[in-house]
Amino acid sequence: MSTMQTDAGNELFSYWLELKRDGTIPQQREFEPARVRHMLPDLFILGKNDAGTMSFRLAGTRLCALFGHELRGRPFTCLWHKSQRRQAGIGIQAMLARGNPMVTDVTGVGAESNHEYQMMLLPMRSGESEADRILGAILPRQPRASALLEHISCLYAGESRSIAEESVDIHPEGKRFTRFMRRLLSVEIVDDGLSGRS
């Protein structure tokens, strides 16, 4: 059973599974933006820059407005609180190497209040080799009007899991954040029914 808690998340994951027809990670060129046109402002694509760092190749207008600046060209870790950036960088590289789609609960920190989101990370390929891109989304868990009243300065990691797994409560500080990263680094392949079973 899917652990996504937003309709948009379910829709995006279903489309990714559709692209994963033969059990291999989809190529980015197969992704048709028109299929999820209404979600484009919330989507992003990550790829490695010249230094090997996962950075934003594209970012939706709503995401850039949410963070108050253009994200294209910036490292993925720039979204996170400074205390979590190193771990997030390690985690995203490990997740990409394993080729596992992930959904992560995150808290957006605003000047006056915090807002809850779900971040989706779906591996993609730029060519015929292994996964080297990520199609992602940051989706509000509350009605959008209340979630976008103010800019957010950073994200805190919350609950992280492979999309088909049971949830586990994780919090963004101390040992509990360490458990979140261990979960991200050791997550099992998602049981999506398309992983080459006989």
Q: What is the pLDDT of residues 46-91, one digit of tens each?
A: 999 999 899 999 999 999 999 999 999 999 999 999 888 998 898 8
Per-residue pLDDT for 153 more than 80? yes
Q: What is the pLDDT of residues 181-193, one digit of tens each?
A: 555 544 333 334 3
Per-residue pLDDT for 42 more than 90? yes
Q: Do residues 16 and 136 make contact, with C-beta atoms less than 8 angstroms apart?
A: no
Per-residue pLDDT for 173 more than 50? no
Dist. CA 139–CA 122, nearest whole Å: 14
Tell me what the mean pLDDT of segment 138-152 comes to: 71
Q: Of all residues in the chain, what percent carry a pLDDT higher than 70?
A: 73
Dist. CA 118–CA 107, nearest whole Å: 8
Q: Report the chain's mean pLDDT, rounded to a whole number.
A: 78
Dist. CA 62–CA 117, nearest whole Å: 14
**CATH number of the structural domain spanning residue 63:** 3.30.450.20
Q: Answer whether residue 197 is part of any domain.
A: no
Q: Answer whether residue 56 is part of any domain.
A: yes
Q: Answer whether residue 195 is part of any domain.
A: no
Among 16-30, 50-64, 82-96, 146-160, the least confident range = 146-160
Q: Answer whether residue 128 is part of any domain.
A: yes
Q: Answer whether residue 179 is part of any domain.
A: yes
Q: Answer whether residue 194 is part of any domain.
A: no
Q: Give me the number of domains the chain comprises.
A: 1
Q: In terms of residue numbers, what domain contains 110?
A: 7-186
Residue 185 host element (H or E) = helix 174-186
Q: Answer whether residue 35 is part of any domain.
A: yes
Q: Answer whether residue 98 is part of any domain.
A: yes
Per-residue pLDDT for 163 more than 60? no
